[in-house]
A = this chain, B = another copy of it.
Amino acid sequence: MELKIINKKHKEDKKKIKIKNVEVGGDALVVFAGPCAVENRQQIMETAEAVKTFGGQILRGGAFKPRTSPYSFQGLGEEGLKLLKEAGEKYDMPIVSEVMDTREVEMVCQYVDIIQIGSRNMQNFSLLREIGKIKKPIMLKRGMAASIEEWLMAAEYIASEGNEEIILCERGIRTFETYTRNTLDLSVVPLVRQLSSLPIIVDPSHGTGIKELIAPMSLASIAAGAHGIMVEIHPKPQHALSDGKQSLHFEEFNHLMKSVRRLHEYLKKQLVMNNE
């Protein structure tokens, strides 16, 4: 694997990425949460409040949605970004949203703190190069059939244009198993940490597609060494315009936050003990 910039040995320390008052890749566990898609002001405001209240650090929300069918809800577009920004400002949280088109990078950058590249665009090399030229952190999701080599090389594309502020996000790969929406491949967590200097988070919502699996897979991700998790939450999952089956209620999110924070505290203590 011909990694020249993001390889581990290149850096003395692991990369730490600062977004306002949040640091991804450092000691803290970072939780990205929010709805699959921004639907309206009330929905995103209520959700932002829940994320903040229960201890999440970064607000996510889709404005441009990649959907299999052209006839499905495609997101609110720029209007969604405005609402997301308003919610992020009100609750003092950085926001992350996906960009799908080289021509929209500049516009999306006016609103968001972190640019998300979705799995369907992981090898959209024009887009990778374009976001490599900006000064915002990137969250690069793994393609659904991308090998770990291809994924790291996609990050290298971004870095080769000058932007090394990249957070990797495992979100499950496509396999023969259909009971879960995707197969969450947690072994990439220690692998990415071994091969590269980049932080890695895990998205168990897309990774499993089943809300009951989000809590155990979040704990597993953290135990495997993930720097954070990203989860979908919604005021009323059963009415969500997309991904309702894999979205948590606020109360479920509250429970999740408690258990992941405790586990992370425990693991940090272990690390200190082992290093003494």
Chain A positions within 8 Å of B, measured between CB atoms, are 2, 4, 66-71, 100-104, 120-121, 123-127, 143-145, 147-150, 153, 156-157, 160, 173-180, 183-187, 189-191, 194, 207-208, 210, 212-213, 216-217, 219-225, 259, 262-263, 266-267, 270
Contact = CB atoms under 8 A, between A and B. Distances in A.
B223 A179 contact: no
Contact of A223 (B148, B149, B183, B222): B222
19 contacts: A66-B123, A69-B156, A70-B153, A70-B156, A70-B157, A100-B126, A103-B126, A143-B145, A147-B177, A179-B191, A184-B187, A187-B217, A190-B217, A191-B210, A194-B212, A220-B223, A222-B223, A263-B270, A266-B266
Contacts of A4: 71
Contact of A150 (B68, B150, B157, B194): B68
A145 B147 contact: no
A100 B220 CA distance: 33
